[in-house]
Amino acid sequence: MADKQRRKPGETRDKLMTAALSLVGKGRHFASLGIREVTREAGIVPTSFYRHFRNMDDLGLQLVDELGLVLRKMMREARANVLQADKLMAESVAIFVRHVEANRSFFFFMAQGLAGESHAVQESIRSEMRFFTSELANDLRRMRLVEHLNDRDLDMTCDLVVRSVAFSLTDLLGISPDDEYQVEQVRNRTTRFLQLIFVGAAHWRSVEGS
Amino acid sequence: MADKQRRKPGETRDKLMTAALSLVGKGRHFASLGIREVTREAGIVPTSFYRHFRNMDDLGLQLVDELGLVLRKMMREARANVLQADKLMAESVAIFVRHVEANRSFFFFMAQGLAGESHAVQESIRSEMRFFTSELANDLRRMRLVEHLNDRDLDMTCDLVVRSVAFSLTDLLGISPDDEYQVEQVRNRTTRFLQLIFVGAAHWRSVEGS
DNA sequence: TCTCCATGTGTACAGTTGTTCACAATATGT
DNA sequence: ACATATTGTGAACAACTGTACACATGGAGA
């Protein structure tokens, strides 16, 4: 296959991606990063960059792919740990916050890419979010918590949920991860957002005709 | 006062801000703009930049101020035109979309600044959103549409509304403003988001204790 | 009217950028 | 074990960057 890797499978490649991510994590904006800057951070000579990426946009796209893995891991953990329905939202939010803190740079990158980056990166992130939305819809359907909603309305609900959580990401990244008080604030607010949305979903049919 | 202006009150200053905004409107990210680039676009010599701004971050902050004016104008129009409660949300969303199309570059800048920009710009935009949220809460209170909610819950609801609309901004900016079909899609989806939220708000008390 | 000061210009410079090219090292397939 | 394709290196380049300085200009307050 075209997938047989180089001698050490993408060691420098990883170093470059990690370096870019690290710069983003330090507050730099991905759009303002240059090739030389990234290679410098990675401890690599600038020319080597081109062995792995065509340009910075290319690197961005590959970062989105890795971001996808992070998101999937998060989803898996949520599926495994969120069992009883009553704590569903609070726990999901807690898991989300934990993953954000564990992969801060990745989520920085995601938040930045959502608005304004190279159109390709933007579309990829949006696509990841759509995937997340549809998986969430599947889960909810399976848990039989929303049987009165048709597919379209369920999808809308999940879309709104994912968006709200994604927006909370902005809050979360704006505060220090050590400021447990503020983190708790974000957790609570996000949880209440979700509760509000689901209260709306529970009573949605009754006003659908209006 | 310290406000007595230069001979022509901030003509070049405006040219620089407009130039930066125009570049952002063309797809560039604000964080990646340079002084020379902006002055070139404005038809000004690079050195002149320093007569008006200390650096690009400074210019960004002043752009946020102008953005505030745009938002206030939008709010005023909404207040004047949204009269009957039944069309409230659809009409508000329509007004929002119209303003975005009329000031595309400004909203591009806002969407970019929400995540990642200089911390000061980010905080300013967030502050604008908070202001918007509290004004919305005041209006709803005055219209007596949400009398069963206490202040805290009303504020949460409005917060979620503003966030949802702000996220729709991302959708809106991702499509061509001429693609009326897609714009209509965004309008409809956003409206349904708001309806879902308000259905939730209407039934909120009943589950508050849970 | 004269003077001052905010504003705009031109030149200059050292540092950085993206990218090319020829070359060195090395793991892989045979 | 050898040839080859893949990966890393160093030097080089022209283009661009932010910023400093000395200077021109013209409106406002006296």
Query: What is the reported pLDDT for A208?
Result: 53
Closest protein residue to C7 using CA and C1' atoms?
A: B51
Q: Are A36 and A55 in contact (CB under 8 A)?
A: no
Query: Torsion over CA of B193, B195, B198 and B203, rounded to 10 degrees?
Result: -110
Closest protein residue to C9 using CA and C1' atoms?
A: B45
Query: What is the reported pLDDT for B1?
Result: 34
Q: Does B174 touch chain A (CB under 8 A)?
A: yes
Query: What is the reported pLDDT for B3?
Result: 31
Rounded to the nearest angstrom, the minimum Cα separation between B3 and chain A is 33
The percentage of residues in chain A with a pLDDT greater than 70, rounded to a whole number, is 93
Query: What is the reported pLDDT for B169?
Result: 97
The arithmetic mean of pLDDT across residues A189-197, rounded, is: 97
Contact residues, chain A, for B173 at CB < 8 Å: 115
Contact residues, chain B, for A185 at CB < 8 Å: none
The arithmetic mean of pLDDT across residues A126-155, rounded, is: 94
Rounded to the nearest angstrom, the minimum Cα separation between B13 and chain A is 24
Query: What is the reported pLDDT for B208?
Result: 53
Q: What would you measure as the largest C-alpha separation in chain A, in angstroms? A: 64
Q: What is the band of A207 on the pLDDT scale with cuts at 50, 70, 90?
A: low
Distance B48 CA to D22 C1' (A): 14
Return the number of other C-beta atoms located less than 10 Å from residue A197's C-beta: 24
Return the number of other C-beta atoms located less than 10 Å from residue B84's C-beta: 7
The arithmetic mean of pLDDT across residues A115-120, rounded, is: 85
Closest protein residue to D17 using CA and C1' atoms?
A: B36
For the whole model, what pTM was predicted? 0.92
pLDDT of residue A11 exceeding 90, the answer is no
User: How far, in Å, are A145, A202, A203, B191 from residue A206 at the CA level?
Assistant: 17, 9, 6, 17
State whether A163 and B164 contact (CB < 8 Å): yes
Amino acid at A104: R
The arithmetic mean of pLDDT across residues A22-26, rounded, is: 96
Contact residues, chain A, for B204 at CB < 8 Å: 196, 199
The arithmetic mean of pLDDT across residues A133-150, rounded, is: 92
| Secondary structure of chain A in HEC code, one letter for each residue | CCCCCCCCCCHHHHHHHHHHHHHHHCCCCHHHCCHHHHHHHHCCCHHHHHHCCCCHHHHHHHHHHHHHHHHHHHHHHHHHHCCCHHHHHHHHHHHHHHHHHHCHHHHHHHHHHHCCCCHHHHHHHHHHHHHHHHHHHHHHHHCCCCCCCCHHHHHHHHHHHHHHHHHHHHHHHHCCCCCHHHHHHHHHHHHHHHHHHHHHHHCCHHHCCC
Query: What is the reported pLDDT for B118?
Result: 87
Query: What is the reported pLDDT for B4?
Result: 32
State whether B160 and A164 contact (CB < 8 Å): yes
Interface test with B, best of A124, A163, A195, A203 (most B CBs within 10 A): A163
CA dist A32 and A26 (Å) reads 13
Taking a contact as any Cβ pair under 8 Å apart, which residues of chain B between 33 and 72 contact chain A? none
Q: Does A167 touch chain B (CB under 8 A)?
A: yes
The arithmetic mean of pLDDT across residues A63-83, rounded, is: 94
Say which DSSP state B7 is in: S
State whether A189 and B108 contact (CB < 8 Å): no
The percentage of residues in chain A with a pLDDT greater than 90, rounded to a whole number, is 84
List the single residue in B with minimal CA-CA distance to A196.
Answer: B200
Question: On chain D, which bases lie within 7 A of the protein's CB atoms?
Answer: 6-12, 16-22, 26-29
Q: What is the band of A9 on the pLDDT scale with cuts at 50, 70, 90?
A: low
Report residues of chain B scoring pLDDT below 50.
Answer: 1-7, 210
Q: Are A51 and A12 in contact (CB under 8 A)?
A: yes
Query: What is the reported pLDDT for B159?
Result: 98
Q: Are B136 and B162 in contact (CB under 8 A)?
A: yes
